[in-house]
Structures are given as structure tokens and as C-alpha cells.
Amino acid sequence: MASARELFLELGYPATTIAAVARRADVSADTIYNAFGSKSALLKEVLDVVIGGDDEDVALLERAGPQAVRAEPDQRRQIALFSAGMTGQLERVRPMDDILRGAAAVDAAAAELRTDLQVRQRREAVRAVVAWIAAHGPLRDELAQEDAAAIVWTLTSPEVHLMLRDTWGWPRERYQEWLRDTLTASLLPA
């Protein structure tokens, strides 16, 4: 998977072949096909490791960082913890999401994977985080949890991260502070 990740980042999805991954990993192409089945399945496995930060079989929201957000009783501190964790995750995930976005344009399986990751899974996760925050106090101006989740989903998107970190050249710390301050202002009463 490390070889596949390196090649996806170096060459992009269309130019990365199973044969090239096999050469880089010093295994046969059959070994990769037997383990993963297809190039898009290999990409999915690489993304699962990148998203979680390791190859442990633990659901993302059950990991220590999200559970610390859930357990924190102060809403502002919850948002600060979430912003720090999300920044770290986006720093890992965004370069691979850039690859996946490009792959989605030429590969139906990759398009399906990106939709699942960015729409279904990320929406589900931000809905949970918003529910954790709302459990510790009111949201701004009686903001509905579903609307709050839409705000969080948008502000934590790889696209917004790309625009601020790469296009505008913000350092990681500035992005994290912006995310914390913007989420706090958007979700919580003044």
C-alpha cells in the first residue's frame, strides 16, 4: 500500500498501473490483484489508511481524537479539539483526495468511492460531531443540527482546505485557527 500511495501521488491515478506498484513493492502483479482485486480497490485501501492515520481496524469516530471531542463538556473546547484533529486529517487526506478527484473523472469505481467517502461517510461523521457539540449546549440562533452539519461538512471539505492552504498559501496553524474560529462563530451563540 505504501508503494501504491507513493505512485498515486507521483503519477496520478490514471498513470499508476498495478504493474508499476508491483515493481515498486517488489512483488508480483498477481499478488496485488489477489490481495486487492483491482486498482480502484487498492486506492480505497490506501485511502482508508490515510484517513485513519494507520491500518488499525477501528472506526474513525471510535478513535481517541474524536472520542476526546465527544467527552469534552465545553463546546468551545470541543470545537478546538475537532479543528485540530480535522486539520491533521486534512493534511494527510487532501493530497490523496486530489488524486481521487482526478481519478473520479476517468474511472466510475473511483467516482463511486469519492462520493461514498465525501458525501455519505463524511456527512455521517460531521452529523455525529455536531450532535456531540449540541449535547453540551445550544447552537447559535436555534440552528438546526442538520444545518450545522452542512456548515461543518462544507468548512472541513478538502476543497476549502486546498483553497486556503495551497492557493492562498496559509500555513497549517493559520488554517487550524481559522477553522476553529469560523466553526465557533458559525455554530455557537456569541
Q: Please tell me the predicted confidence (pLDDT) of residue 105.
A: 87
Phi, psi of 125 (to 5 degrees): -65, -45
pTM for this prediction? 0.85
SS3 content of the chain, % helix, strand, coil (to 5): 80, 0, 20
The rounded average pLDDT for each run of 10 residues, N- to C-terminus, in the chain (190 residues) is 90 90 94 91 85 76 92 98 96 88 86 88 95 97 96 96 97 98 97
Which long-range contacts does 162-166 make (Cβ < 8 Å, 24+ apart)? 162/94, 162/98, 165/94
Q: What is the pLDDT of residue 1?
A: 87
Cα separation, 18 vs 142, in Å, equals 52
